[in-house]
Amino acid sequence: MKANIKKLQKHRVFSEEFKREIVSLFERGKFSVLQLEKLYGVSDSAIYNWIYKFSTFNEKGIRVVEMKESSVHKLKELEQKIKELEQAVGQKQIMIDYLEKMIDIAKEDLDIDIKKNYGNQRSVGSGNIPKKKNSP
């Protein structure tokens, strides 16, 4: 009698880090799903599942249409947005430095301590109180 011999199925388990790296390569536009499939020997359906699971751009239920140009375009748009935000932060820092210098000048030249008076609210009760005169 022949023994029952089960065929061993190839079933590989990939780490989450590996899956995220594959998704990252796809999102950066370096490789298409077809190229990743051939390069790493992973099925395209597995790669698409990882894209739906780990991608910051693609969501489940939304069909991924792969166009190399669009990935590159998306990356360039994000780089441009980062550049604009860095420029805005730089301009805000210049404004902060300018205002701090104005506060220092007001303190030195006009003897007004804006930082000290900023948090205190004035009382509205007794109005102006005359200053005491030093008697000899």
From the number of C-beta atoms within 10 Å of its C-beta (0-12, 13-18, 19+), residue 12 rates as exposed
**pLDDT value at position 4?**
53
**pLDDT value at position 1?**
45
Mean pLDDT of the chain: 77
Over pLDDT 70: what percentage of the chain? 66
Residue showing tokens 């022949």: 2
DSSP structural state of residue 31: S
| 129 contacts: CB under 8 Å, gap ≥ 6 | none
Distance CA 55, CA 13 (A): 19
- Report the pLDDT averaged over residues 28-49: 86
- Report the pLDDT averaged over residues 16-22: 90
Report pLDDT digits (tens) over 76-106. 888 999 999 999 999 999 999 999 999 888 8
Distance CA 69, CA 29 (A): 8
Distance CA 115, CA 107 (A): 9
